[in-house]
Structure 1
Amino acid sequence: MSVRKVRYYVFLKDILTLSLTSFGGPQAFLAMLLDRMVRKRAYVSEEELWELNALCNMLPGPASTQLVSAIGFRVGGPNLAYLALFVWILPATIIMIAAALLIDFLQENTPGALDFARFIQPMAIGFIIFAAQKTIGKMIKSTEAMILMLLSAFVSFFYSSPYIFPGLLILGGLSTSIKYKNQPKSEEDKTLVIRWSNFYLWALVLVIAASAGAIFKWQPIILFENFYRNGSLIFGGGQVLVPYLYTEFVDFKHFLSSEEFLTGYAISQGIPGPTFSISSYVGALSMREFGFTGILMGGLIAAAGIFLPGIFMIFFVIRFWDQLKLYRPVRAALEGINAVSCGMLIAAAYLLFEPMESSLINILFVLGTYSLLQFSKISSPMIIAGGIVLGILVNYLV
């Protein structure tokens, strides 16, 4: 028993270290996982790490969080996996809730409070364009995928409703699954054994949250359902989450202004941990009318809603993944899902830029941020910190 307790402690300490130091996006995070979890600790083999990473990228939800939980599952079962999830998301969640509290305080007490973020907002667009380029380069490999991406961008731009996105993802997956014969053949196991408990849990929480929200009309329940639904539909990582949240909470419900959203997105790019942590910021400001308690509750509810579905899914699929990945239609459907996600990213970049003033300075900061990310080795936190300092100086001098 004592050995198992020490192992839990050491594993969770490693997760906490990662949550406080994982700057630089998914590539840097994977390099840190490989170094700490494989080479130093040997929790999993390198082959297992890459396979688990591929699986998490194929499922809806936060891929980095699912990967951390999946490793915890392999090492110590569901209990360790849930503890790892909590330790991994806690620091970023606290930082983003604190950021929401600060933004709300400044706006209540200081005229022009967001002037310090005047350059951060166009810089956030530069981050999104950079993420879109990287994602498209990785996921778009055929003419059909390119067409699906452009169609998705067109529909997402002109019909920016949160209820359009799920239909687009389903149609995208179906449209490429019919090309399953192009996938390499494998030895399909006809005796696929599925344990449905985590899938039922995912569906039950979704149904109860949606029903309770419709019946009681209580904002915390509605907020949880909103984030739980988004967390169940996001393929492609944190950058794909942005158009969902912007459409639902800025365009559709007007809980945040465009300036507030972009400021929060930029801050989320400058902190360690999961990029899905922007949800805590959005959830916190969505409940600011209830004061400090509302902001704190909103941030925690959003974190629970956005992270839980992906965890239920990885626990559901990981038990029979070795069999499921042999089925060609499953692999073929991912091409269409990924293409649609890329189209949503393109639409998001324009929809986020549209409310901003089309000034030369904003355009220069968008292009400058993209150029720094693409052609320099300056880290994201340093770029964000530079934009904040510059905004403060200009605000003070002008």
Structure 2
Amino acid sequence: MTRDVQKPVSTKDFLKDVFICSLGAYGGPEAHYGVFTDQLIRKKQYLTEEDLIELIALTQLLPGPSSTQTLVAIGYKMGGPKLALLTMLVWSLPVIVVMILLSFLSELLGVFHLREDGLRYIGPMAVGFIILAAYRIGTKVVKDSFTLGLLIFGAVGTFFIRASWIYPAVLFTGGLLAVARSKEKDIWHRVKLDPPYKYLFFFGFFALGGLLFSAFFDHVLIDLFESFYRYGYLVIGGGQVVIPLMYTELVEIQNYMSSQDFLTGFGLVQGLPGPMFSFSAYAGAMAAKG
């Protein structure tokens, strides 16, 4: 029996569970969902697996870090905007601080040969987490030949087309096919929306302000703010998409850091628990150092 998701929960207990998730979340968003399922659903029953799957599908359509958005959405559902903000801080702040510190210790990594030797086993470990999460989610959503066909369609499409637009396109197409095939009556429901316009205003203010300041003022911190803010609101598809974009801008175009330093940070973030976007803290600190 799952918990009534509308019932208030203890802020302290929920944030403790979020922190536990942050300590065990290796391998990127695909692997993080398995951790969320274990801690937030199987053990604490904050929501159902169906609710989690719907949130995952929604965040995959949005730009930005999908696993972080999923967890913040759960926090919002449990306790409103305040708990959502605290959830984001507890989930992301520890690894962000660690990545910033590591950016100032990058020279030591080379001395101890961690760049080449200590990080090469992290990738295969992350694959295991991803396979487990995919299996658990797959057993819930792949129920017949039609859903199996959607799975194959999504896998083939995203494998052969390496572009940011393919992720929302596949999800949108799959949703349309599912609706067209559905025999459920009254599938469409009228919903009254009350958009948080004040948040949209602040988003637009920082987005436009970053572009204007970057155009008129030649300062590395302003350029970095504009670049990383743009990565957050434009890039769809997670770290696999944003990392090549960051490499092109920060290494090849702006020359803020060397290729070796960039790849070292990317290897480190895969070996640490927490959100993959914490790599931006490392890259930003390295770029600011010059």
TM > 0.5: yes
CA distance change for structure 1 residues 127 and 279 in 2, over 3 Å: closer, same or farther?
farther
Q: Deviations over 1:49-96 (max 9, x none)?
A: 221122122211111111110011001001110111011101110111
Q: 1:249 Cα deviation (Å)? A: 0.7
Q: 1:193 Cα deviation (Å)? A: 3.0
Q: For residue 184 of structure 1, what is the aligned residue in structure 2?
A: 179
CA distance change for structure 1 residues 170 and 46 in 2, over 3 Å: closer, same or farther?
closer
Contact 1:88 1:273 in 2 (8 A): yes
Matches within 5 A, 1:296-307: none
Give the one of 72, 78, 81 matched to 2:81. Answer: 78
Q: For residue 48 of structure 1, what is the aligned residue in structure 2?
A: 51
Q: 1:194 Cα deviation (Å)? A: 5.1
Q: Greater shift after overlay, 268-277 or 31-40?
A: 31-40
Matches within 5 A, 1:10-159: 10-103=13-106, 105-106=107-108, 113=111, 115-119=113-117, 141-142=152-153, 146=157
Instruction: Give TM-score scaled by structure 2 length.
Output: 0.74
Q: 1:280 Cα deviation (Å)? A: 0.8
Q: Deviations over 1:170-220 (max 9, x none)?
A: 699689979986453373346663515233332222111211222233322
CA distance change for structure 1 residues 211 and 74 in 2, over 3 Å: closer, same or farther?
same
| Amino acid corresponding to residue 10 of structure 1 in structure 2 | D
Structure 1 residue runs without a partner (length 5+): 154-167, 290-398
Q: Deviations over 1:3-55 (max 9, x none)?
A: x9981111112111221222344454323322322233332223212211221
**What is the distance in 2 between the residues matched to 1:175 and 1:33?**
24
CA distance change for structure 1 residues 41 and 256 in 2, over 3 Å: closer, same or farther?
same
Q: For residue 199 of structure 1, what is the aligned residue in structure 2?
A: 200
- SS where residue 105 of structure 2 aligns? helix
- SS where residue 214 of structure 2 aligns? helix
Say whether 1:284 aligns with 2:279. no
**What is the distance in 2 between the residues matched to 1:132 and 1:50?**
15
Q: 1:230 Cα deviation (Å)? A: 0.7
Alignment coverage as a number of residue pairs: 262
**What is the distance in 1 between the residues matched to 2:9 and 2:128?**
42
Instruction: Give TM-score scaled by structure 1 length.
Output: 0.55
Q: For residue 245 of structure 1, what is the aligned residue in structure 2?
A: 246
**What is the distance in 1 between the residues matched to 2:165 and 2:195?**
23
**What is the distance in 2 between the residues matched to 1:27 and 1:54?**
12
Structure 2 residue runs without a partner (length 5+): 1-6, 133-137, 139-149
| Amino acid corresponding to residue 81 of structure 2 in structure 1 | P
Q: For residue 256 of structure 2, what is the aligned residue in structure 1?
A: 255
- SS where residue 193 of structure 1 aligns? coil
**What is the distance in 1 between the residues matched to 2:27 and 2:176?**
38
**What is the distance in 1 between the residues matched to 2:17 and 2:74?**
12
- SS where residue 117 of structure 1 aligns? coil
CA distance change for structure 1 residues 70 and 258 in 2, over 3 Å: closer, same or farther?
same
Q: Greater shift after overlay, 205-214 or 270-279?
A: 205-214
**What is the distance in 1 between the residues matched to 2:175 and 2:13?**
44
CA distance change for structure 1 residues 17 and 149 in 2, over 3 Å: closer, same or farther?
closer
RMSD (Å), alpha carbons: 3.9
| Amino acid corresponding to residue 97 of structure 2 in structure 1 | I
**What is the distance in 1 between the residues matched to 2:60 and 2:166?**
19
CA distance change for structure 1 residues 248 and 126 in 2, over 3 Å: closer, same or farther?
farther
Contact 1:121 1:262 in 2 (8 A): no
